[in-house]
């Protein structure tokens, strides 16, 4: 398909129109399960229907637009991403993937191309972390891993996730009907959320893997004492233990990253000190670490070291390590080599440069990969900025990604796996 059949202006205008459905005080915000999120979905539904797609909500409340294929028994080719955002997020994280998929189908129609396989565009429910303490709700539901414990999670108002899914059009009582086993391949376009493509002046990234993410909670208990009357040698300062562990995490993560054996990062994302008063020696410190890597074994080794070091610090500083909890853990997802090859061939046909790289963020593709071959395509974003109002990619970059996506779909549609 000639690149010109992707209507770059139409795709760009759609992105800006969806972005305009936002909390005006916090652009660009459409939190999952909110009235603005539902308004955005109504807008998407109308665009799907205008394109001639059959539109439905599955039992996990994923919005799905379907173009039937010529061969009824052929498995479905699935494209998509998500339309919800983080608070004050950007215009492209999620929506670019959904709307590029829609533009692929529009270009098919413009080219008079009738696919053998059905093509589905999916707006997955709540990919971003939701008020219920869980992300990738819709793709978990489709993959059959949205369990009863998760469904019982509540938001600040006490609403259960199960009730929220039903409220936005799902049917938790029949969630098994959302499970899929008929997908030939899933392709997701996304902004990189990093600077590798920009700094290397590469058009597109072929995502080799989506990192595994483990979050660990550590709590140190010392003694809250008067900051003026308690001599230094008598203190049991929980904040000092926390500070030393933070430094250890940073140093160990840098050492692992320097090995160049795939992406490895670790972050102290939460640090709470109690009683948090200027004239009181801290008696309690709570930390939450976010550890991400392509290689699950590297995470395992890091956690062993974190466990041992946090206990050693506690003993040395005369405090107690009262908690060491794994809050969540997902294994890395390796993207399908065949689909990545199709994306590469599509880019080459358009004269676009590519490079392999890993995704340091989580995506719906990681859960779809549990039930079908899955792969992702990254487009550059300015200065790596994401999850912020300044998030940006150029019109031509989105269009190039959409054109590459179409070429890959056409290649997948024209052959048997």
* Binding-site residue positions for allantoate: 215, 279, 292
Q: CB count, 10 Å around CB of 242?
A: 27
Question: Residue 405 and residue 188: Cα distance in Å, rounded?
Answer: 8
Specify the DSSP element, H or E, that contains 328: strand 320-330
* CB burial string 160-172: b at 16+ within 10 A, e below: ebbebbeebbbeb
- Considering only CA atoms, which of 399, 397, 407 is closest in space to residue 344? 407
Instruction: With beta carbons less than 8 A apart as the criterion, state whether 90 and 388 touch.
Output: yes
| Residues in a beta bridge with 273 | 285
Determine the distance from the C-alpha atom of residue 155 to the mean position of all C-alpha atoms in its chain, rounded to a whole number. Answer: 20
- Considering only CA atoms, which of 196, 204, 198 is closest in space to residue 340? 204
Tokens representing 68? 């039937």
Tokens representing 145? 């891993």
Which parts are annotated binding residues for Zn(2+)?
A: 82, 93, 128, 190, 387
Which parts are annotated binding residues?
A: 82, 93, 128, 190, 215, 279, 292, 387
Question: Residue 396 and residue 406: Cα distance in Å, rounded?
Answer: 15
Question: Residue 197 and residue 347: Cα distance in Å, rounded?
Answer: 15
- Considering only CA atoms, which of 141, 161, 139 is closest in space to residue 150? 161
| Residues in a beta bridge with 81 | 123
Question: Residue 181 and residue 363: Cα distance in Å, rounded?
Answer: 19
Could you list the beta-strand ranges (E) of 223-263: 225-226
Question: Residue 402 and residue 274: Cα distance in Å, rounded?
Answer: 50
| Residues in a beta bridge with 71 | none
CA distances to 39, 74, 233, 339 from 344, in Å: 36, 24, 63, 9
């Amino acid at each position: 398909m000639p690149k010109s059949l992707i209507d770059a202006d139409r795709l760009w205008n759609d992105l800006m129109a969806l972005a305009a459905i936002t909390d005006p005080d916090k652009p660009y915000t459409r939190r999952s399960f909110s009235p603005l999120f539902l308004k955005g979905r109504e807008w998407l539904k109308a665009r799907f229907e205008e394109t001639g797609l059959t539109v439905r909500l599955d039992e996990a409340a994923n919005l799905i637009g379907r173009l039937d294929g010529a061969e009824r028994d052929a498995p479905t080719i699935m494209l998509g991403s998500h339309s919800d955002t983080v608070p004050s997020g950007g215009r492209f994280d999620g929506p670019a993937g959904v709307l590029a998929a829609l533009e692929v189908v529009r270009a098919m129609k413009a080219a008079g191309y009738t696919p053998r396989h059905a093509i589905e565009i999916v707006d997955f429910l709540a990919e971003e972390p939701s008020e219920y303490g869980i992300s990738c709700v819709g793709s978990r539901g489709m993959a059959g891993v949205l369990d009863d414990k998760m469904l019982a999670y509540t938001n600040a108002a006490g609403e259960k996730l199960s009730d929220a899914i039903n409220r936005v059009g799902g049917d938790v009582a029949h969630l098994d009907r959302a499970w899929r086993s008929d997908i030939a391949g899933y392709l997701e376009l996304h902004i990189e959320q990093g600077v590798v493509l920009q700094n290397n002046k590469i058009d597109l990234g072929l995502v080799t893997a989506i990192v595994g993410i483990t979050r660990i909670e550590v709590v140190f208990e010392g003694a809250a004492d008067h900051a003026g009357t308690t001599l230094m040698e008598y203190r049991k300062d929980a904040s000092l233990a926390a500070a030393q562990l933070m430094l250890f995490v940073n140093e160990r993560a840098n050492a692992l990253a320097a090995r160049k054996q795939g992406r490895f990062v670790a972050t102290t994302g939460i640090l709470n000190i109690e009683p948090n008063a200027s004239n009181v020696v801290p008696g309690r410190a709570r930390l939450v670490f976010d550890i991400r890597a392509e290689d699950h074994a590297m995470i395992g080794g890091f956690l062993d070291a974190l466990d041992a070091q946090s206990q050693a610090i506690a003993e040395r500083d005369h405090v107690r390590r009262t908690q060491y909890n794994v809050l969540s853990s997902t294994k890395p997802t390796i993207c399908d080599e065949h689909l990545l090859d199709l994306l590469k061939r599509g880019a080459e046909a358009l004269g676009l440069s590519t490079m392999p790289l890993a995704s340091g963020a989580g995506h719906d593709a990681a859960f779809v990969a549990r039930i079908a071959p899955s792969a992702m395509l990254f487009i550059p974003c300015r200065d790596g900025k994401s999850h912020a109002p300044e998030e940006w990619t150029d019109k031509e970059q989105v269009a190039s990604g959409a054109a590459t996506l179409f070429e890959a779909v056409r290649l997948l549609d024209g052959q048997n796996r």
